[in-house]
Structure formats: C-alpha cells, structure tokens
C-alpha cells in the first residue's frame, strides 16, 4: 500500500478510496484489451470525466472542484499504484501537465471554451513539443506558424505526443519568427477537427502500451490568432514556468509505481519457496528488500517536500529536476531488483512485475531525459 503521509488529510484518504473503486470498476476489466489494442478506449475519458478526478484544480466557474494540487498528486499516485500505467499516463498529461498551461495563461474566453470539456472528459488535451530530429532541443523546433490576417497558418510535424490520437485540442509549440532565439516561438492551441491537421500512427512502444502516443502533422492548418496561448513569442518562458509541475508529477507517478513493484515483490518472496524455505528468508533477499525500502522511504520524503513547496509556489526548476532525475532513476533500480527477485517468472509478461519493468523505462526519458535534468541541476551548483 502507499504510505500514509502528513502532506495529506482525511479528505484525501476518502478520495483514494473512491479512486480505487473507480479503477476496479472502470479500468481493470478493460485494461488487457486496451494493452493489446495499444490505446485506451475513448469511453475511459467519459468514465473518468464523470468522477471529478480530471483537472480537479479547475475553478468551480469552469466546472472544476477548485482543489489544490494535492488532489492531482493523489489521483496520479493511485492510478500509477494500480499498475495500469497507460491510462494513468494519459490522464496525467491531460490533468497535470496541459491544464496548468491553460489555468495560468489562457484568456477568460479560452478557459470558457476548453476547461469545462477538459473537466468532464469530452475534450482531451495534448501538448506538442517534440519533433522528429529535435528531441530535447526545443529551440530547434521547425513547426512554423505564419501570420495571415487574423489567422496563423501552421506547417510542420510533431512526434511522441501523448494523447495524440484522442486529443481534441493540442497546445502546440510553433516558431512564429525566424531564428533560434527564445522569443521566436509561441504556443498555439490547435483544435484537431481543423482542416490540414492529421494524426499519424499510434506509436508501438516498449512499455505503457495502452498510453496513446502519436505522430502529428500540420499542412496549412489555419488557426485563429485568438488561439494563441499567452503572449506571442512567449513560448519558452511559459514552458519554463510550467515544466517544474510536469517533472514533479512524473516523480510522483514513478514513486508510486516503484512502490507497487516493491510491494508485489515482498509478497512474492514470502510465498515463493526454494530449497524448502521462503525466498524472503534468505539474507540476500532481506538485505536487498531493506535497500529498496530505504530508497522508497527517502523518495517519499523528498517528493512530499517538493509537493509542499509547489503548493507554496516555491518549487524551483532545480528542485523539480532533482526530483524527476533521482526518483525515476531510483524506480529503474527498484523494478530491476524486483524482477531479479522474481527469478524466471519476473521475465514473463503474465506476471505484473514484468509489465512494471517495461513501463518504468520511459520515465527517465520523457519530460526531459536524466541527462537534461543533470544539466539543469548543474547550473545551480
């Protein structure tokens, strides 16, 4: 089970119970089919939208609960701990990443158009940064938006876009002026029923196979200038202000998934016998589990510290980068050790630990690779 922590109160405990019931009724029965299909069904968005779990910090005026960020982290933790990382990742990108951009930078008219649908699941949101050949080099982006009267004409391509297949709106990083300077890019919200917008293939991945991850292309896509999110030329400053929350939520989900792997392994080693005794009785097993338990406990303490600092609007880019870097690397160590303690069964996909191992690998890549995190951290030495 996820540990009890002082950062949460009784209301959050009740929320966890509701989430577990939701997962049992609406996710677990369909998860295997979604994994085989390589995508969650659109009905998932309808179901989770009815619960109030999507975009909970959205103000009540736009259909939300007006909750603080802790409700986001509780939802992220419970969905990740369920072991169903595809649906967890999809919901997190929508609620924990995209929503922040709209709450902080959208105009009242934009909020009125998009936020109520994001809360009830009728509008799925994605954010499109990465492009073929650019990776983490955001200033190398080539997708271009050219002003034509009251419209932008957008041409280009994006890849590795979470929620790309289901998305109804896509927050898109576009170059609106020539040159690599940080003031030459803008965020433009593209509605996906616009002519010239095209979804490419749903990408076949190592893990999190039911997470919707896509290629997108734009051919003379005409978008109103009124869809610009924030000021023209402000994309980099907006991204820098919102990326700490994205990296913190990745740390949260990584930690919850690592905790699930550990809990499964403790149970397995107690039940599995070799040479007439439980695997858990061997000194090597006990010492390894003690190491993992310590890593997890340290991780929860640091993540909770970051949650509190984020609630107080004090979380720095460097702290969020440290959380994302350390926790995702720790998750990799934990799940690898847990597979080893399962022996040959850990390599079988019918065992949940095998899927958790595959699902964990991307956590060190998206949201900024571990190498990029170390670069950011090093700038504050």
Could you say which of 233, 265, 300 is where a domain stops? Answer: 233
Residue 231 contacts residue 55 (beta carbons within 8 Å):
no
d(CA 355, CA 159): 24
> For 77-97, what is each residue's pLDDT tens digit?
999 999 999 999 999 999 999
CB 58 within 8 A of CB 38: no
| pLDDT at 138 exceeding the cut of 90 | no
Q: Which of 232, 246, 352, 371 is catalytic?
A: 246
Cα→Cα distances 171→93, 142, 164, 243, 362, Å: 12, 15, 11, 14, 22
Specify if 77 maps to a domain.
yes
What CATH number corresponds to the domain at position 222?
Answer: 2.40.110.10
Q: How wide is the angle at C-alpha 371 spanned by C-alphas 309 and 72, nearest 5°? A: 35
Domain boundaries, position 314: 236-378
Q: Does 246 participate in catalysis according to the annotation?
A: yes
Q: Give the chain's domain count.
A: 3
Within a domain: 5: no
- Kindly state whether residue 4 falls inside one of the protein's structural domains: no
Region 191-196: mean pLDDT is 98
Grade residue 64 by pLDDT with cuts at 50, 70 and 90: very high
pLDDT digits (tens, 9 = 90+) for 8-36: 999 999 999 999 999 999 999 999 999 99
Clarify whether residues 98 and 22 are in a common domain.
Answer: yes
Residue 125 φ/ψ, nearest 5 degrees: -115, 145
For the chain, how many helices (H) and strands (E)? Answer: 12, 10
Map tokens 């990408």 to a residue: 203
Q: 3-state DSSP call for residue 280? A: helix
Q: Model-level pTM?
A: 0.96
Does 160 share its domain with 66? no
pLDDT band at 178 (very low <50, low <70, confident <90, very high): confident
Residues 240, 373: one domain?
A: yes
């Amino acid at each position: 089970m996820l540990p009890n922590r002082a950062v949460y109160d009784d209301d959050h405990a009740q929320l966890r119970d509701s989430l577990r019931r939701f997962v049992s009724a609406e996710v677990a029965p369909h998860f295997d089919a979604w994994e085989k299909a390589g995508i969650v069904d659109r009905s998932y968005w309808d179901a989770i939208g009815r619960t109030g779990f999507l975009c909970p910090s959205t103000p009540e005026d736009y259909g939300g609960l007006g909750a603080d960020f802790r409700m986001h982290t509780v939802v992220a933790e419970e969905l990740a701990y369920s072991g169903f990382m595809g649906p967890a990742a999809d919901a997190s990108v929508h609620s924990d990443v995209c929503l922040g951009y709209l709450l902080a930078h959208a105009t009242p008219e934009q909020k009125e158009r998009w936020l109520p649908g994001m809360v009830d699941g009728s509008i799925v949101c994605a954010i499109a940064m990465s492009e073929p050949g650019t990776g983490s080099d955001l200033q190398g982006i080539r997708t271009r938006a050219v002003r034509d009267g009251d419209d932008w004409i957008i041409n280009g391509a994006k890849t590795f876009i979470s929620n790309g297949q289901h998305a109804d709106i896509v927050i898109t990083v576009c170059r609106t002026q020539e040159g690599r300077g940080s003031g030459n890019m803008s965020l433009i919200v593209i509605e996906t029923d616009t002519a010239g917008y095209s979804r490419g293939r749903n990408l076949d991945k190592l893990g999190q196979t039911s997470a919707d991850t896509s290629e997108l292309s734009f051919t003379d896509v005409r978008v109103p200038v009124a869809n610009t999110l924030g000021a023209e030329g402000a994309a980099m400053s907006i991204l820098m202000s919102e990326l700490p929350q994205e990296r913190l939520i990745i740390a949260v989900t990584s930690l919850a998934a690592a905790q699930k792997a550990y809990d499964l392994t403790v149970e397995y080693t107690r039940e599995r016998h070799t040479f007439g005794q439980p695997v858990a009785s061997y000194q090597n097993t006990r010492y390894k589990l003690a190491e993992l338990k310590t890593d997890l406990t340290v991780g929860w303490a640091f993540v909770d510290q970051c949650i509190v600092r984020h609630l107080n609007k004090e979380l720095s880019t460097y702290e969020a980068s440290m959380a994302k870097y350390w926790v995702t690397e720790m998750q990799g160590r934990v799940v690898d050790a847990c597979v080893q303690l399962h022996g040959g069964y850990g390599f079988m996909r019918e065992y949940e630990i095998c899927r958790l191992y595959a699902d964990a690998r991307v956590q060190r890549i998206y949201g900024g690779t571990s190498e990029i995190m170390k670069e950011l951290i090093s700038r504050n030495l």
